[in-house]
Amino acid sequence: MAANKELIHEAAIQPLMSKFKFEIKKKNKSRNIFVLIFSSVFMVLSWFTDVNKIVLENIVLKNNSQMLDWYINPPVNKILKVYIFNYTNIEKYKSGEDKKLHVQDIGPFSFEEIADKIDVKWNDEFLTYRENRSHKFLPHLSTNIPLNSTIIFPNILLISAIPNIHRIGFAAKTAFGTLLNLSKPKQFENLTIEESIFRFPTPFKRAVSMVKWNLSPYDTGLLMKRSGISETAITINTGIKDYNEIGKIVRINGKNKLDIWKSESCNNVSASDGAFYGPENLRQRKEVQAYIPEICRTLPMEYYGKSSAFQSIPVLHYNIPDDIFNKEKNCEPKNTESQNIDGLFDFSQCDIVDESPPIFVSFPHFLHGDPKLFEHFEGLKPNKSHKSFVHLHPRISVPIQGSLFMQLNLQLFHFRNYFKEFPEGIILPLSWIEVTIENKIERNVWWFFFLSADFADYSMNFMRILLTIVFLFASKSLYDSLKKEEENYQNKKIIRIS
């Protein structure tokens, strides 16, 4: 009797248990379907979402933004280390006792360069500015030789005037010869180091100004072209419409190309102004280019490899090619007859003066230059470590630190008895300079702004992996559920048939 009651109780409970299990299976199946749909949708979205693009689109030159403020007032330490060539045996060379000129570079004389952007005009897509530069002497980073020490230095005013006299004609030559006889300028002068850098003595300037429309900035001091308010107005892309274009020059003094060089590629100004280098270029490890206003030329920089900068920031290392001033890659001025020599770049037409003397730039001590540049000198010691480079952040494309090495040279020509002891057309080294930059954004701000892209990318990669795992797990659960339902269905079908 008790057994019958148990059977009756089981019979009554069985339908309820079956219904309960069915409801649970139904809920599990619905949950698996929901998780599968949810994870699949967000997994697809995550894989097709460029988080790097989202971050970079917010680091453009928007009006009233922190990035624009940093761009106008750059938070960088820019140090200029100047070395002056002292000609130590001029009298012995002129007398024939010494067969070569002996030069000795003295330095460094270090200056902090402060470059603020002025006359800023911002119109959403483009920004136009000029630079106002000033220099502060840094004794602690300089040699212990005082700035008032005397050196023997070429008379740049005289040397730069002579080529113009040859161009103007007989009457000008006669007048200039008379001025020379009256003023009797020295071919090489005793100058203080400070005078050579910032302000040459003035007695001969009046005579020179009579045969030149104007004085070149270099006629008044080696750093004068880098000092004060620039004559050049630069227009750059703000990156608002395309963040890969941020910092790219679109116009120089209102023109989208120069009219200085013989080739169109050299006249092209579509390059970085030195603040941004295009994130996409860096991602693909492409060559980047920077426009150097002082020489009116774009210089390419080639990817060298990965490195690390201060505070262990990961960076991409880019170098200026060693052969950039060789004949095959050089830019030739349109209106000049100067020789194209490996290791020299004639940028005299870049000057604001119509009739400029032949001024050349090279690497320090004619590094990578033609052997003929060394023939008449002793004391030149090229150093391969003087290699120009820049470290760029791989995501943000801003420079974190870098160095640029350049040497200023002047070509010498004869005029009557002046400089007759020197080879016609000799290239005289004047000074060389190392420009170093280092970002000085505060550490916490640096990590937030410049590593945010990395953090966001790593977080998105983690989310992609997590969603993929959830998707696979939900797919497996749903597959197992459907498979079990199919097995149950087949078993019930077999029972009915039997």
**Mean pLDDT, each 10-residue run in order, the chain (498 residues):** 50 49 52 58 55 65 84 88 96 94 96 92 91 93 94 88 73 75 84 85 59 50 80 92 91 92 92 89 89 92 84 84 89 75 89 66 96 96 94 85 94 89 94 90 56 62 67 65 64 60
Alpha-carbon distance of 162 to 422, in angstroms, equals 14
The Cα-based distances of 400 to 75, 166, 275, 393, 413 in angstroms read 11, 47, 10, 7, 43
Dihedral sign (CA 28, 31, 37, 42): negative
Helices 156-168, 170-183: inter-axial angle, 10-degree rounding? 150
Alpha-carbon distance of 63 to 122, in angstroms, equals 8
What pLDDT is recorded for position 16?
Answer: 46
Residues in the chain: 498
Other residues' Cβ atoms within 10 Å of the Cβ of residue 199:
14
What pLDDT is recorded for position 319?
Answer: 95
Contact predicate 407/431, CB 8 Å: yes
Helix (H, G, I), strand (E, B) or coil at 249: strand
- Beta-strand runs (E) in 99-187: 101-122, 126-137, 150-154
Dihedral sign (CA 344, 350, 352, 358): positive
- Helix, strand, coil tally for the chain in percent (to 5): 40, 25, 35
- The Cβ-side half-sphere exposure at 313, using a 13 Å CA radius, reads 29
Contact predicate 481/25, CB 8 Å: yes
The Cα-based distances of 112 to 225, 321, 419 in angstroms read 15, 27, 37
Contact predicate 169/211, CB 8 Å: no
Alpha-carbon distance of 378 to 374, in angstroms, equals 8
- Beta-strand runs (E) in 201-256: 228-229, 234-237, 249-252
Contact predicate 269/248, CB 8 Å: no
What is the DSSP secondary-structure string of 3-69?
HHHHHHHHHHHHHHHHHHHHHHHHHHHHHHHHHHHHHHHHHHHHHT--HHHHHHTTSS--TT-HHHH
With CA atoms as reference, report the closest residue to 361 among 334, 338, 383.
Answer: 338
Residue 41 contacts by C-beta under 8 Å, 6 or more apart in sequence? none
pTM for the model? 0.80
Alpha-carbon distance of 126 to 446, in angstroms, equals 26
What pLDDT is recorded for position 217?
Answer: 47
What pLDDT is recorded for position 201?
Answer: 64
